[in-house]
């Protein structure tokens, strides 16, 4: 197992690149099946979605459009509950099938905001796909159409997800952990660190 330190916190390797990509393949298959004969508009929710969207659309073997909105709800490792739409969509959405690509759904506050933003846009349909989902935290009555990997209520970083700005560049997922006792931990690794090769415990 490898451990990394980001700011003041320690994270252990948790979900491999291989598992992430298998989950994405499965999501793409389901979305593709539901979007036959359409050109869906995939909308990523920035910043955390950027790797997911890149891998998702490369796997998607059909016509599609790609756009992004930027929302904010987190500071540190706790949801602030306050959400602002920072960058909106410019495309004409009327009559379109829109598939939201979310990195992770936790409390569902962001998801609620997404439903608010899109409810007056006269879409043909709105579908939600999330790579990660925390079922123990999610308390909303809102539909989530496609779920990649369900995880427990523990903070994760990597594959686009940050802890106070850093950690997004890791190719795999790390989970918040206690400060390790061993002394020989490489806190931030050499080239290849992004693949989670920093330290073996
Ligand atoms: P929600 O609004 O559902 O509580 O949270 C959605 C957003 O909070 C995500 O898009 C993500 O930016 C952030 N978030 C939620 N859980 C985690 C987590 O475990 N790790 C990180 N890095 N961000 C998270
Ligand atoms: Mg997000
Ligand atoms: Mg964040």
Whether 106 is catalytic is: yes
CB within 8 Å of 178: residues ≥ 6 apart: 10
Is the CB of residue 106 below 6 angstroms from any atom belonging to ligand 1? yes
Is the CB of residue 175 below 6 angstroms from any atom belonging to ligand 1? no
- CATH number for 3-195 (one of 3.40.50.2020, 3.30.70.100, 3.40.710.10, 3.90.180.10): it is 3.40.50.2020
In the chain, where are the structural domains located? 3-195
Give the active site residue among 34, 106, 120, 200: 106
Is the CB of residue 162 below 6 angstroms from any atom belonging to ligand 1? yes
Q: What is the ipTM of this complex?
A: 0.97
Q: Which ligand is nearest to the CA of 45?
A: 2
Q: How far apart are the first and last CA of the chain?
A: 6
CA distance 43 to 101: 6
The ranges of the chain with pLDDT < 50 are: 184, 190, 195-201
Q: Is the peptide bond before 47 cis (omega within 30 degrees of 0)?
A: yes
Portion of the chain with pLDDT greater than 90, in percent: 70
Q: Which ligand is nearest to the CA of 75?
A: 3
Of 71, 2, 47, nearest to 168 by C-alpha is 47
Of 1, 28, 27, 10, nearest to 187 by C-alpha is 10
Ligand 1: which of 79, 148, 154 to mutate, judged by most atoms within 8 Å of the beta carbon? Answer: 79
Q: Quick one: pLDDT at residue 197?
A: 39
The answer to whether residues 17 and 171 touch, using CB atoms and an 8 Å cutoff, is yes
Q: Quick one: pLDDT at residue 104?
A: 98
Query: Which pTM value belongs to this model?
Result: 0.88
């Amino acid at each position: 197992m490898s451990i990394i330190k980001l700011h003041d916190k320690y994270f252990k390797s948790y979900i491999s690149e291989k598992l992430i990509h298998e989950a994405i393949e499965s999501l793409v298959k389901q979305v593709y099946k539901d979007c036959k004969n359409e050109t869906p508009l995939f909308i990523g929710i920035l910043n955390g979605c950027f790797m997911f969207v890149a891998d998702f659309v490369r796997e998607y073997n059909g016509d599609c459009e790609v756009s992004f909105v930027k929302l904010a709800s987190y500071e540190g490792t706790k949801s602030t509950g306050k959400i602002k739409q920072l960058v909106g969509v410019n495309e004409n959405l009327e009559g379109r099938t829109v598939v939201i690509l979310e990195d992770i759904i936790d409390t569902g506050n962001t998801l609620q905001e997404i439903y608010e933003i899109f409810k007056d846009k006269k879409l043909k349909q709105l579908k939600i796909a999330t790579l990660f989902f925390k079922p123990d935290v999610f308390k909303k009555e809102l539909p989530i159409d496609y779920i990649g990997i369900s995880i427990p209520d523990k903070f994760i970083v990597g594959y686009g997800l940050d802890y106070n700005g850093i950690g997004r560049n890791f190719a795999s997922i790390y989970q918040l952990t206690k400060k390790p006792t061993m002394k020989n931990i490489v806190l931030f690794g050499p080239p290849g660190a992004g693949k989670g090769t920093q330290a073996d415990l």
